[in-house]
Amino acid sequence: MLNKQNWDRLPKLGLRVQRLLEDAKSTKLMAMGVLPGSVVDVLRKAPFGHVYYIKVDGQRMALRQDELSFIVFE
């Protein structure tokens, strides 16, 4: 179900959100401004991994890996 994506090589810039998987977490992601069509930059990984520093349409936020995996990119 979860969306496996390789986040080893960072930063990844200019990713476009296609859709979000159906889950309560997606509702919260959307409320924070992660929407279909948003441009996402995944800038860096947290020192101990599993958490990512990202920018969504220029807004900075931190997402856990499992939270990020609810986003489907184009």
| Contacting residues toward another protein, per CB under 8 A | 20, 22-33, 35-36, 44-51, 53, 57-64, 67
Least separation, in Å, of the C-beta of 39 and another protein? 9
Cα distances (angstroms) measured from residue 53 to each of 6, 11, 12: 15, 10, 11
Burial bucket for residue 12 (CB in 10 Å: 0-12, 13-18, 19+): middle
User: Judged by CB, which is closer to another protein: 3, or 33?
Assistant: 33
Least separation, in Å, of the C-beta of 37 and another protein? 9
Least separation, in Å, of the C-beta of 47 and another protein? 5
Under a CB-based contact definition with an 8 Å cutoff, are residues 8 and 74 in contact? no
User: Judged by CB, which is closer to another protein: 21, or 73?
Assistant: 21
